[in-house]
Amino acid sequence: MTQRIPIVEKILSANDRLAIENRARFDAAGVFTLNVMASPGAGKTSLIEKTVSALKGSLRIGMINGDIATSLDADRAAAAGAAAVQINTGGDCHLDAVMLQAALPQLDLARLDLIIVENVGNLVCPAEFQLGTHKSVLVASIPEGDDKPYKYPGMYRGVDAVVINKIDLLPYVPFRREFFKNGIEVLNPGVTQFELSCRTGEGLPAWLAWLVAQVSSTRQNSVSGHLAS
């Protein structure tokens, strides 16, 4: 006797449940967390270095780096002034909520204001795995080409902000800004965008202001949460 059992359960639901646990820990500690995703070489670590250097005087910053094999990026973030933790994914193309959870004991969450997670350089998979961070940002860069939203729509769909890095290269590389932006607008209407160069520093202040505002609103929520409970 065979029987059909209707299920309709999201295949990554176990990961999503762990992501919710991670978020609860961040909220309890009052720390704002950011998932930074991009293709290899777009400038994730460069953006993190610039951000840490600019904000370390006013914020306590942690960095978690997901890398297939090395700790080069975590070392760069540590040199810039962050408490940095390395996760070697051993060939996995993305971080997931389990890996992030396993790394958390290495950071003193309650003594941090901001944790930046650098995901594995990959424009396909990371978007499907929630980590539990408060916000996620996609770093695009001019030399990657203007067709990336069209080729990797999944990555542009869910993010809270898009950073367009390496604008110093605009004079040297063909890049149809409007074509690129139209793709983003369809996939993620009204998403916050920053055009900047980690090399020259142009455009960085707007990005930093956005990030600082996110951190303080998380802290306020956490304080009012503690008062209410």
User: Any bridge partners for residue 63, and if so which?
Assistant: 84, 116
Among other proteins, ligand GTP, Mg ion, none, what binds residue 125 when CB lies within 5 to 8 Å by partner kind?
Answer: other proteins
Among ligand GTP, other proteins, Mg ion, none, what binds residue 205 when CB lies within 5 to 8 Å by partner kind?
Answer: none
Question: Please, are residues 26 and 132 in contact by the beta-carbon 8 Å criterion?
Answer: yes
Q: Which residue has the tokens 């961040």?
A: 26
Binder to ligand GTP among 22, 45, 133, 214 (CB under 6 A)? Answer: 45
How far, CA to CA in Å, does 86 sit from each of 7, 24, 81, 99, 191?
Answer: 38, 22, 15, 11, 30
Please report which helix (H) or strand (E) contains residue 66, including its range: strand 61-67
Kindly state whether residue 157 participates in binding other proteins, applying the rule CB under 8 A: yes
Binder to Mg ion among 34, 38, 42, 44 (CB under 5 A)? Answer: 44
Kindly state whether residue 11 participates in binding other proteins, applying the rule CB under 8 A: yes
Per-residue contact flags (x/-) with Mg ion for residues 69 to 108, judged by CB under 5 A? ----x-----------------------------------
The span from the CA of 41 to the CA of 23, in Å, is 28
Nearest to ligand GTP by Cβ — which residue? 121
In sequence order, the 6+-apart residues with CB closer than 8 A to the CB of 135 are 32, 33, 34, 35, 160, 161, 214
φ, ψ of residue 73 to 5 degrees: the values are -70, -40
Binder to other proteins among 27, 75, 128, 160 (CB under 8 A)? Answer: 128
Of the pair 165, 218, the CB lying nearest ligand GTP is at: 165
Kindly state whether residue 176 participates in binding other proteins, applying the rule CB under 8 A: no
Binder to other proteins among 162, 187, 212, 215 (CB under 8 A)? Answer: 187
In the complex, minimum distance from the CB of residue 132 to other proteins, in angstroms, rounded to a whole number: 17
Q: Nearest Cα to 209, choosing from 191, 188, 194?
A: 194
Scanning 58-66, 68-76, 89-97, 101-109 for contacts with other proteins by CB under 8 A, the matching segment is 89-97
The span from the CA of 77 to the CA of 45, in Å, is 7
Interface with ligand GTP by CB under 6 A: which residues? 38, 40-46, 73, 121, 165-166, 168-169, 197-199
